[in-house]
């Protein structure tokens, strides 16, 4: 999971740069011709965006290194590498992690005494250059909920609910299990809660498109 989470966070940082250049604020988008001037402006803008993306990725290198070191501490060496993430048994306090978009620092969600846990994590990764944030649910708890949802959706009686779903999975930064519904009306949400789960860690959102769940790749 964490490998995908770090990659996802890195890609999100690059997407943030593109989002900042919206069509409303970007004069390049007002050009409708292919004059040398407009092409030159677009080329300069593209180079600037790519440079910023590389800078963000560079700042996140240490975060990825710390994340990998932390993960290795809890890797079950008896389980084959190909069975990741099942070969990593996270501690009960761990809620997830990702690199900060702004400064590239490693952010770790923890459940419990943040001061005590911070000291423990620093000892594992050999660094204090990270940010601790408190969370309500551990990653193991969220993953258990995610797996429970999947199991219930496999039941024939819940086929209609499954057909209304576009994506579901652990969303680390929100510390929730996100459930995307094509029809996210109160009625459909109530049906899901009644037949699948009404756990407070589940967050519902309108999602029309079918999206590949990164956690299931």
Q: Per residue of the chain (217 residues), what is the pLDDT tens digit?
A: 444 443 333 333 333 333 333 333 333 333 344 455 556 655 655 565 555 555 667 778 899 999 999 999 998 877 776 665 667 889 999 999 999 988 889 999 999 999 999 999 999 999 999 999 999 999 999 999 999 999 999 999 999 999 999 999 999 999 999 999 999 999 999 999 999 999 999 999 998 865 444 443 3
Residue boundaries of the structural domains of the chain: 2-59, 61-134, 139-216
Helix axis angle for 2-20 and 36-59, nearest 10°, is: 150
pLDDT of residue 171: 94
Locate 189 and state its tokens: 């949400």
* Residue 130 CA to its chain's centroid (Å): 18
Distance (Å) of CA 82 to CA 85, 178, 188: 9, 26, 37
State how far the Cα of 138 lies from the Cα of 97, in Å rounded to an integer: 11
Specify the pTM: 0.68
- What CATH architecture does domain 139-216 belong to? 2-Layer Sandwich (3.30)
């Amino acid at each position: 999971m964490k490998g995908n989470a770090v990659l996802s966070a890195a890609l999100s940082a690059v997407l943030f740069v593109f989002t900042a250049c919206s069509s409303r604020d970007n004069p390049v988008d007002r050009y409708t011709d292919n004059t040398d001037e407009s092409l030159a402006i677009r080329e300069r803008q593209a180079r600037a965006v790519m440079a910023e993306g590389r800078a963000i990725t560079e700042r996140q290198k240490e975060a990825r290194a710390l994340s990998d070191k932390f993960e290795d501490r809890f890797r079950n060496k008896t389980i084959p590498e190909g069975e990741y993430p099942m070969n990593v048994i996270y501690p009960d306090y761990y809620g997830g992690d990702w690199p900060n978009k702004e400064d590239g620092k490693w952010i770790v969600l923890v459940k419990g005494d943040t001061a005590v846990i911070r000291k423990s994590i620093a000892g594992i990764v050999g660094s204090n250059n990270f940010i601790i944030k408190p969370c309500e649910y551990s990653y193991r708890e969220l993953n258990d909920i995610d797996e429970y949802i999947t199991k219930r959706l496999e039941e024939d009686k819940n086929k209609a609910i499954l057909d209304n779903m576009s994506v579901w999975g652990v969303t680390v930064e929100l510390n929730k299990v996100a459930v995307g519904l094509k029809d996210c009306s109160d009625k459909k949400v109530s049906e899901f809660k009644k037949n699948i789960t009404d756990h407070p860690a589940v967050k519902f959102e309108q999602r029309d498109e079918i999206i590949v769940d990164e956690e299931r790749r």
